[in-house]
């Protein structure tokens, strides 16, 4: 493995356990030479995240609920104190209340919709705002999305319009921050059996559909997503910004 991220400092948000997409990315970043800061949601999540984060010799491990402005500030204060800069950030956080996620969009509650947008989309804006001053030499902001943002995917429900908003946010942030050499992109993996995905009704059917319909007919892995993420946050991707990067074995190119 080449050290294409040697000397880079990165923040990874969204690891829940060893099956998380964010974990696959964190491993790839570490193997490429990056130093990482890693967050966990709360004390209930800490026993699942801390042990695997420590495998990567992580120098900053802190709690972060993206709705908590004080925790957000404390995290970036710690990064500034420890490193004085930030080269890249991965945002792999999404949530919608179960009743709203598994129901019809037309029946979604205002509270549920706003909570999904706050956690899944606005949090990326908040993180970008705090990261910008630490990226004086440029950097990369990376988030995670899904093809259900573009086309109606059965049972994806409320997360469809929420991810659409996130992808629009990626494009506008890329336009605004490009002059500072800060790139903004989104990874769009095919379905992967993560804890977050378990909230989607009949997720096993979605996995099977993706496997059958994609040209490569293979399951998407967190390691495969991590490999693409590693490239996107590296200097080798210095001309890539505002993009939605599919890691789905070609599923997105297929018709109905």
Which residues are identified as catalytic?
146, 156
> 3-class secondary structure for the chain?
CCCCCCCCEEEEECCCCCCCHHHHHHHHHHHCCCEEEEEECCCCCHHHHHHHHHHCCCCEEEECCCCCHHHHHHHHHHHHHHCCCCCEEEECCCCCCHHHHHCCHHHCCHHHHHHHHHHHHHHHHHHHHHHHHHCCCCEEEEEECCHHHCCCCCCCCCHHHHHHHHHHHHHHHHHHHHHHCEEEEEEEECCCCCCHHHHCCCHHHHHHHHHHHCCCCCCCCHHHHHHHHHHHHCHHHCCCCCCEEEECCCHHHCCC
């Amino acid at each position: 493995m080449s050290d294409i991220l040697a000397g880079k400092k990165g923040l990874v948000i969204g690891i829940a356990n060893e099956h998380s997409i964010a974990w696959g990315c964190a491993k790839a970043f570490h193997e490429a030479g990056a130093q990482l800061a890693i967050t966990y949601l709360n004390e209930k999540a800490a026993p699942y995240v801390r042990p695997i984060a420590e495998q990567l010799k992580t120098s900053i491990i802190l709690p972060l609920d993206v709705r908590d402005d004080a925790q957000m500030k404390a995290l970036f204060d710690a990064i500034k104190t420890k490193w004085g800069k930030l080269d890249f950030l991965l945002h792999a956080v999404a949530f919608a209340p179960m009743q709203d996620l598994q129901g019809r969009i037309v029946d979604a509650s205002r509270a549920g919709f706003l909570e999904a947008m706050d956690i899944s989309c606005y949090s990326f804006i908040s993180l970008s705002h705090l990261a910008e001053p630490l990226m004086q030499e440029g950097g990369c902001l990376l988030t995670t999305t899904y093809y259900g943002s573009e086309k109606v995917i059965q049972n994806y429900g409320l997360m469809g319009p929420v991810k659409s908003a996130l992808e629009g946010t990626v494009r506008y942030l890329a336009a605004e921050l490009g002059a500072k050499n800060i790139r903004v992109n989104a990874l769009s993996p095919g379905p992967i059996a993560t804890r977050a995905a378990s909230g989607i009704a009949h997720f096993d059917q979605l996995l099977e559909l993706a496997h059958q319909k994609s040209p490569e007919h293979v399951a998407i892995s967190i390691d495969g997503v991590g490999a693409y993420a590693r490239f996107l946050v590296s200097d080798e991707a210095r001309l890539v910004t505002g993009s939605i990067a599919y890691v789905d074995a070609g599923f997105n190119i297929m018709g109905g």
